[in-house]
Amino acid sequence: MFIPGQIIALLTFPGVIVHESAHQLFCRFCRVAIFDVCYLRFENPVGYVIHEPPSKPFHHLLIGIGPFFLNSVVGLLIAFPAVIPVLRFDSGNLLDYFLIWLGVSISMHAFPSTGDAKSILEAIQKKDVPFWLKLVGTPLVGFIYLGAIGSVMWLDLAYGIGIVGVLPNLLVKLLA
């Protein structure tokens, strides 16, 4: 089923906001000047951060993939207390369902956009970039593109549900 990105963004808007905030946060860590931030809009792209080119290629990579880590961790943490009542015992209250929606929305926007991938690719293709960074960055860019293609088949949603649903259940299995 094809649903336009803008509608998905509307339904999962907290994820877009956290995604752009993550880019912004990593810009701050890497001391990269930010010129403009759009946390949410109903155009393509649904959000963006315009920043100066980082001084180090590694910073470029960090800013690009920052949302992948931040959205995943924040989404997981938010949904964590609600997963067992909702997914295991179907006994969640309204707050639990809200947390699940919030968690899935945030973690499904963990994948960097193709714009992020393009920007990382440009940065690591430069001559002065160390070999190890090219080695790490190139498959990462491929992975990001794969994620972007997969999002047509709801890979982003599957990832969001996976992050939110699988890990707490694994924890329960480990502790039992």
**Residues at the site binding other proteins, with contacts judged by CB under 8 A:** 14, 17, 21, 24, 27-28, 30-35, 37, 39, 52-53, 55-56, 77-78, 80-82, 84-85, 88-91, 95-96, 98-99, 102, 168-169, 171-173, 175-176
- Nearer to other proteins among residue 61 and residue 144 (C-beta): 61
Question: Distance (Å, rounded) from C-alpha 131 to C-alpha 64?
Answer: 18
Q: Closest distance between other proteins and the C-beta of residue 139, in Å?
A: 26
Q: Closest distance between other proteins and the C-beta of residue 44, in Å?
A: 21
Q: Closest distance between other proteins and the C-beta of residue 74, in Å?
A: 9
99 with 164: CB under 8 angstroms?
A: no
- Nearer to other proteins among residue 144 and residue 164 (C-beta): 164
Q: Closest distance between other proteins and the C-beta of residue 90, in Å?
A: 6
Q: Closest distance between other proteins and the C-beta of residue 140, in Å?
A: 23
- Nearer to other proteins among residue 82 and residue 148 (C-beta): 82
Question: Distance (Å, rounded) from C-alpha 168 to C-alpha 78?
Answer: 12
Q: Cα–Cα distances in Å, from 89 out to 83, 92, 169?
A: 9, 8, 12
Question: Distance (Å, rounded) from C-alpha 47 to C-alpha 45?
Answer: 5
- Nearer to other proteins among residue 127 and residue 173 (C-beta): 173
- Nearer to other proteins among residue 82 and residue 144 (C-beta): 82
Question: Distance (Å, rounded) from C-alpha 108 to C-alpha 155?
Answer: 8
26 with 120: CB under 8 angstroms?
A: no
Q: What is the 3-state secondary structure (H, E, C) of 83-118?
A: HHHHHHCCCCCHHHHHHHHHHHHHHHCCCCCHHHHH
